[in-house]
Structure 1
Amino acid sequence: MNVLISGASVAGPALAYWLHRHGIQATIVERAEQVRPGGLAVDFRGTAMRVLDEMGILGELRAHATHSGDAKVVDADGNQIAIMPGAIFAGELEVLKTDLTRILYDLTKNDTEYVFGDSIDTLTQEADGVRVEFDRGAPRQFDVVIGADGLHSRVRALAFGPKERFTNHMGYAFASFSTANYLDLDHAGASHVSGDRSLNVFASKENRAARVLFMFPAKDVPRTREAQEKAIRTAYQHVGWEAGNLLARMPEATDFYFDELSQITMPAWSTGRVALVGDAGYCASPMSGRGTSQALLGAYVLAGELSTQDTLEKAFAEYEEALRDYVASTHEMGRMARDSFNLPPSQELFDAIAAAGTGDDTMDNLNLKNYATKVH
């Protein structure tokens, strides 16, 4: 079997790794010229930790852990009103996404064909494969095509239909960037909630830097950085605490990122020889805190089913059966996190959110098949 994967962030390389373990050849096409740096911190919990361990990268990821502690929640004048437990946003292990994507690339680059600086233009499903035409490269034939290309998936649009058909916009946008740790945060964070918008700062890179995260209501999501920064300044012009200082630092950031907060809900994650994994098929939004774990678990299960089932139809069906309930739970968590913006911040609220993610019977502890893997 020869599999084309679109997207070299998390789900794509993780899928390529497991496919190789099962003796299946994978090619990854990525629109960017290299693995994209930057991004939010990402965290792992429950079964995702076991998958990382089986991939042999858990120890290396632990060496890059952010060691994020609790975050103080402050009012407009900087006075502490509550403590947000680190378990809410840092899970069992938190790393910067840029470290995770680099580690996944290093893990797979010798066994996976990477095609950077290109993307899929058309997909034509045929009886014995999928003919793929690229924006730059020559057309090629693959047995299976997997979209691991995120919220704005090109594969999903080509094989399933317009994004609007499957997107549930949550009414918010978010932006992140790095700046100096001028607040002297020590492996900790600070957050301010002003009505329906929040401002969060977390220590990063062993306290040498800070990660800034804005979340605010937005119906129309601008696509140019100039318009995005203008939207943020408009949303936070009357917000207190450190809003003014952080807005002033924003234009200097080299890792600025902006996007809508949306969930992807689909009646099926596959059609014929094309399937989706991670955010492309079932994005729960960053508010859920489970996007990266979903990508890893989805890659693990999809590769396992492709290697053990007699038909693609059966493999894709078993893949969905294994993860549908989990995905429904992550979507619900994302919506609950959004709705919490309408509640006044309090210690009782944050303690309840933290408690919901503890215990052996939580959504993060999945009972997945232990797929036998070949050794290469």
Structure 2
Amino acid sequence: MTNKPLSVLISGAGVAGPALACWLARSGATVTVVEKAPVLRTGGQAVDFKGGTHLELLRRMGILEEVRRRRTGGADQTVIDSDGRRIAVMPGWFTGGDLEVLRGDLAEILYERTRDTCRYSFGDSITSLTETASGVHVTFESGAPRTFDVVVGADGIHSNVRRLAFGPEPDHVTHRGHYYALVDMEPVVDEPVMYNEPGRLVAVGGPKAPAFFCFASPELTYDRYSAAEQKQVLADAFRGMGWRTPEILAKLDRAKDVHLDSIARVALERFSKGRIVLLGDAAAANTLGGVGTGLALVAAYVLAGELSRADHATAFERYEATIRPFVKAAGGNNAGPFLAPRTRGGIWLRNQLLKRRLLLSSMAKTGEKLAGGHFELPDHAW
């Protein structure tokens, strides 16, 4: 970056992309963020930060106090039977880490911190990537073609950049036997509760929390951009379920927002190809594994730091060498069987585990390490 500012295109305005944009802009890079959605996407599930490294990253970004102000509280969730009687408790400290916030709130905070130093282009998407000797020539659905020094795919598990540069999604994304859904709908109960039947989970209630569904299923075909189709998948999957599930399903049609997706894992031999690199879920998603958001923030800091002090090839090698061990260690985690066990025996065993504080504490500490919560952050002159 001694001759001219590094020009970087980031695909994705969720969490990983704006986090990277924040650090790159501070290092002097010229940053453009392109996002397929027409506006910043709000709502979504709660995400959490675990360990001193995550909190220090938020502090260095200047957003720690704002994230704390918007925290969800990480409330305990009561596991109930079909009559509404308490069976066990999913502790808030186990699911919420040290600090929990809605994904949409975090995305908004990051956007607010970067919109004046980076260029955002909403309602647009990359259509082709052609690498040349001096950069990556990029065409868009609506914007004019441009050439960038580096392109970063931070566009989630269904990454467009990964598809264009690394090949079709089925080559890299593996369905892990369950689906999950978040639905912004009218509340049914005031306090957070979760109810299971074999292969199915409904969790509702709690401050600011959308309804959460999880169910076992082979891979499904549906339009990910059609709310009506997603609602129909949920209605079919949870038909006949006990407790107050019929009442909850009756509210689906009036739901403001729905997000249904597979619990899946992304596996790649490399995170980069030439001048194109992947970040966050696009590189190494392990859906609902509890480590994605925190590790994405660590990875963004590492990638920006390496790009600020070396050419792209060297920077990508160092970035991968640092982050790959975390991704490999977290790869075996699968939240589906824990949230929605396929048998009544499995549900009983899960509920017994929830009563073992020492085991839960050990699991939480492992998740903290996998998410980079104890990673030693290098210092950068930003």
| Structure-1-length-normalised TM-score | 0.92
Q: Is the 8 A contact 1:198 1:216 kept in 2?
A: yes
Greater mean deviation of Cα atoms: 264-273 or 296-305: 296-305
> SS at the partner of 2:251?
helix
The structure 1 residue matched to 2:81, chosen from 64, 75, 78, is: 75
How far the C-alpha of 1:332 sits from its partner, in A, is: 2.2
* Distance in 1, Cα, partners of 2:187 & 2:95: 19
Q: Match for 1:86 among 88, 92, 105?
A: 92
Number of the residue aligned with 1:197: 200
1: distance between equivalents of 2:122 and 2:283? 22
Q: Distance in 2 between matches of 1:339 and 1:113?
A: 41
Q: 2: CA distance between counterparts of 1:221 and 1:203? A: 31
The alignment covers a number of residue pairs equal to: 363
Question: Offset of 1:354 from its aligned partner?
Answer: 4.1
1:39 and 2:44 are equivalent in the alignment:
yes
Partner of 1:137: 143
SS at match of 1:358: helix
Bigger mean CA deviation after superposition, 80-89 or 107-116 = 80-89
- State the partner residue of 1:317: 317
> In structure 1, the residue corresponding to 2:167 is in which secondary structure?
coil
**Of 323, 347, 353, which residue of structure 2 is paired with 1:349?**
353
Q: Distance in 1 between matches of 2:351 and 2:161?
A: 43
CA displacement at 1:22 relative to structure 2: 1.4
Q: Relative to structure 1, is the Cα distance of residues 7 and 362 closer, same or farther in structure 2, using a 3 angstrom cutoff?
A: closer
Distance 2:291 2:10 in 1: 22
2:254 matched residue in structure 1: 252
The equivalent residue for 1:20 is 25
Shift of 1:347: 4.2
Identify which of 163, 168, 175 aligns with 1:169.
Answer: 175
Q: CA deviation at 1:228?
A: 2.1
Alignment correspondent of 1:7: 12
Residues 166-175 or 226-235, more deviating: 226-235
Q: Equivalents in 1 of 2:369, 2:181: separation in Å? A: 29
Q: Is the 8 A contact 2:188 2:205 kept in 1?
A: no
Shift of 1:361: 8.0
Q: Is the 8 A contact 1:196 1:217 kept in 2?
A: yes
Q: Distance in 1 between matches of 2:119 and 2:232?
A: 40
User: Structure 2 vs 1, CA of residues 107 and 355 (structure 1 numbering), >3 Å: closer, same or farther?
Assistant: same
Counterpart-to-counterpart distance in 1, 2:188 and 2:228 = 25
CA distance in 1, matches of 2:35, 2:228: 25
**Number of the residue aligned with 2:212:** 213
Q: Secondary structure at the match of 2:370?
A: coil
**Aligned counterparts of 2:59 and 2:353: Cα–Cα separation in 1:** 33
Instruction: Please point out which of 357, 376, 381 is paired with 1:368.
Output: 376
Q: Residues 354 and 247 (structure 1 numbering): CA distance in 2 closer, same or farther, change over 3 Å? A: farther
| More off after superposition, 224-233 vs 107-116 | 224-233
Contact 1:199–1:214, Cα closer than 8 Å, also in 2 = yes
Deviation at 1:211, TM superposition (A): 1.7
Q: Secondary structure at the match of 1:203?
A: coil
TM alignment of 1:87-126, pairs within 5 A = 87-126=93-132
Matched, 1:63 2:45: no
Q: TM-score, normalised by structure 2?
A: 0.91
Matches of 1:159 and 1:36, distance apart in 2: 25
Which residue of structure 1 lines up, in the alignment, with residue 3 of structure 2?
A: none
Identity %, equivalent residues: 39
Q: For residue 254 of structure 1, what is the amino acid of its counterpart? A: K
**CA–CA separation in structure 2 for the residues paired with 1:314 and 1:11:** 21
- Measure how far apart 1:371 and its partner are: 3.3
Distance 2:155 2:368 in 1: 31
Letter in 2 for 1:357: A
Moved over 4 A (4+): none
How far, CA to CA, are the matches of 1:117 and 1:304 in structure 2?
Answer: 29
Give the Cα–Cα distance (whole angstroms) in 1 for the partners of residues 164 and 240 of structure 2: 42
Structure 2 segments unaligned to the other structure (5+ residues): 1-5
2:165 is aligned, of 148, 153, 159, to 159
